[in-house]
Amino acid sequence: MNKLAYAGGLAGLVFLMPIAFAADSCSVPQLKVLAQKTLGLTTLEKSLADYRKASGTQVDLVYFGENDRRGKSRLDASTKAGAYQVYYVDEANVAEFAAAGWILPLLKYYPKEYDYSDFLPGRRAVASYKDVAYFAPLYGGGDFLYYRKDLLDKAHIAVPKTLEELQAAIKKVNNPPAVYGWVARGQRGSGMNVWRWSPFFTAMGGAWVDKDGKAGFNSAAGVKATQTYMDLLKYTPPGTATYDWSNAVEAFRAGKVAFMIESTPFADWMEDPTKSSVVGKVGYARPPAPLSSAGFGHGFAIAAYGSKDECTRQAAGKFIAWASSKEQEQARLKDGVFSDYNRSSTIGSPYFQQHVQPGIVAGLNAITDTTRLNIWSSPLWPQVGDNLGVVLEELFTGTRTDVKAALDDAAKYTDAVIARAGRRN
């Protein structure tokens, strides 16, 4: 067994990360990975040189922002360019990529000793399509209601447990420009404004398709969800109608916002004293009823056209297994990254229990039974979701004002996409 020594993290903590490679296993000189930057991958980069020495493979991570990453990988796959051997994939495009044959079933190439079954059940669920695993989780979670404890205490407001209570609290604490009651994603995109809007839609009783297989989001539930979302945008910082997740998170940790519903890994960002002005002032609760916690997962998958031969596929599988291993998750913890956890063994480890803030742990426990996938699990989702995102952004920015008519237009587009897919099949 080869071992990699990793030195880094808090107070120079040092530990060993084993890499076991069979003597006859395949090795290729280079793997190109189309990726999206995360804190966990920053930790991974520190040991890539050692991985090359142990495996004989140089791994190059090529980073893009979330929307660009999706677009670049889709272009590379759909044109069969094959410039990358590994794609960073998420719950929003795994169905599309798997159904098109752009990524390969993972477990054939994922060494058993890296224990895929140790991943949390929710992560394995979003990493699969039709019960087949396609990516190894690197990053994921659900939703917290982030709230400023100090502002709520000052205003004598209890933590909202219902959507109605949240709406009232947002209005009460809103005091621009010193502090805004709310912030959210407004920017177009299936993984941007639609992702944040979806829990409102499903909470209102909405279904993505009706009994006839046609678009269902232009229903009364869709209209009510959109109107509710637009009403909350009245209490946000200027420009929120086109914010992505990073804009929203930065506004909150800059101390400009009282409430936000966002993904759980950002709790780590709130408690970073080098970048956050609200350390120790943030509470973490389950989203107020009837909103659910939006479950998600991101990870690495084997690119079918970039990994054309069995040896390359084996090499890609080895790298993905190592990158998503128990040892890498422990490396992240010891590097101060408590957001990029995906394994049962990580959550149960003494280091996690000792170093994660009790309030965050309590929040994670509180959302367990309310976390689910809110988006449409379909290969058609990227087209449908991105088009809906354009329409929502137009409504949020005031370019369009008739909610029902706008959603009807998006539904017509969706029905046409569904019809074309039916004819092809």
Give the separation between CA 5 and CA 8, rounded to whole angstroms: 10
Per-residue pLDDT tens digits for 377-417: 899 998 999 999 999 999 999 999 999 999 999 999 999 99
Determine the average pLDDT of the residues in 160-169. Answer: 98
pLDDT value of position 25: 64
Determine the average pLDDT of the residues in 245-256. Answer: 98
- Map 163-185 to HEC letters: HHHHHHHHHHHCECCCEEEEECC
pTM for this structure? Answer: 0.77
Contacts of 13 (CB under 8 A, 6+ apart): 334
20 has pLDDT over 60:
no
Say what percent of the chain tops pLDDT 90.
79
* Residue 43 and residue 6 in contact, taking contact as beta carbons nearer than 8 Å: no
Give the separation between CA 132 and CA 125, rounded to whole angstroms: 9
12 has pLDDT over 80:
no
Determine the average pLDDT of the residues in 237-242. Answer: 98
